[in-house]
């Protein structure tokens, strides 16, 4: 539960409010379509929290992908600066400037690179500063790089080559993710259309032939039938999302 609240705190308040409003709208649509009951809306209200939590997870997943792309660009700048003869501290300073030019002054990664630079100026080792940033980011690519960087620093490896190779590998991984996203985007759009169809059919029947659905509302048999249909529908939506969610 604590992790869930922590996750929500990482989402901008405006976005979080919109997600709650959207979740409430969906709960109201389900209550009307499947139960035609105002009481059902309150009983289904916990689903709003589940919906918001899932959307927050999707937002964080997209944010991690974006931070991965930015981190690859940042490492390329660090590698170029090291190759030009800059110290590690100044290399991160130059990378910060490059990131601000590419992604604007509000770039979160540029701010993190600035924090790394300040930590180095306070006599903290580069490895420790990178490790702290990696733990904070919770990004697998950044965590892996910090571990490789620490090992290379201890063993006296070629830092320029290691940083450049890490940047290329992260960028290749992000390109594969982008290609997969393009390939499945059409299917995901079809999935969203299919998600809307059950509500559209029930709404159409309620508006045009209300007597047809009356036996399914406000009685035990109808509630059981519609609840079973809703459970099957939610399971189908969950499975379709899992199928379309391809990890790289």
Interval 14-33: pLDDT, tens: 888 898 999 898 888 888 88
Q: Is pTM beyond 0.75 here? A: no
| Token pair recorded at residue 193 | 């259309």
- Tens digit of pLDDT for each residue in 58-96? 888 878 778 878 888 888 888 888 888 887 778 888 888
Contacts of 219 (CB under 8 A, 6+ apart): none
Residues contacting 47, CB < 8 A, separation 6+: 23, 26, 27, 30
**pLDDT for residue 240:** 77
Q: Dump pLDDT digits (tens) for 105-118.
A: 788 888 888 888 88
CATH number for the region 63-174 comes to: 1.20.81
Mean pLDDT on 136-155: 81
Reference 102, options 50, 138, 137, 66; nearest CA is 66
| pLDDT category of residue 2 using cuts at 50, 70 and 90 | very low
Residue 97 has pLDDT above 80, yes or no: yes
When pLDDT is cut at 50, 70 and 90, the band that residue 245 belongs to is: low
Domain boundaries, the chain: 63-174
pLDDT tens-digit map of 147-174: 888 887 777 767 778 878 887 888 788 7
* Spatial separation of the C-alpha atoms in residues 114 and 160, rounded to whole Å: 20
Secondary structure of residue 124 in the 3-state scheme: coil
Tokens of 93: 């300073």
Are the CB atoms for 25 and 41 separated by under 8 Å? no
CB atoms within 10 A of CB 62: 10
State residue 45's pLDDT score: 85
Q: Which two tokens stand for residue 3?
A: 């992790």
Report the pLDDT value the prediction gives residue 21, as an integer from 0 to 100: 92
Average pLDDT, whole number, for the chain?
Answer: 82
């Amino acid at each position: 539960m604590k992790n869930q609240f922590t996750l929500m705190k990482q989402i901008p308040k405006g976005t979080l409010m919109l997600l709650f409003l959207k979740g409430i709208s969906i709960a109201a649509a389900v209550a009307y379509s499947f139960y035609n009951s105002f009481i059902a809306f309150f009983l289904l209200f916990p689903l709003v929290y589940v919906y918001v939590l899932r959307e927050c997870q999707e937002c964080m997943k997209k944010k991690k992908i974006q931070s991965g792309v930015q981190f690859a660009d940042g490492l390329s700048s660090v590698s170029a600066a090291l190759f030009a003869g800059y110290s590690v501290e100044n290399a991160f300073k130059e990378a910060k400037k490059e990131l601000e030019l590419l992604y604007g002054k509000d770039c979160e990664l540029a701010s993190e690179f600035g924090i790394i630079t300040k930590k180095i100026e306070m006599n903290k080792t580069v490895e420790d500063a990178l490790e702290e940033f990696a733990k904070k980011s919770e990004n697998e690519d950044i965590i892996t790089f910090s571990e490789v960087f620490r090992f290379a620093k201890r063993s006296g490896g070629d830092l320029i080559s290691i940083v450049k190779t890490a940047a290329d590998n992260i960028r290749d991984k992000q390109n594969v993710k982008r290609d997969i996203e393009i390939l499945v985007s059409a299917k995901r759009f079809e999935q969203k259309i299919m998600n809307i169809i059950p509500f559209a059919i029930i709404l159409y029947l309620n508006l045009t032939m209300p007597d047809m659905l009356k036996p399914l509302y406000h009685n035990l048999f109808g509630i059981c039938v519609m609840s079973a249909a809703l459970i099957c529908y939610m399971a189908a939506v969950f499975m379709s999302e899992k199928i379309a969610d391809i990890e790289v």
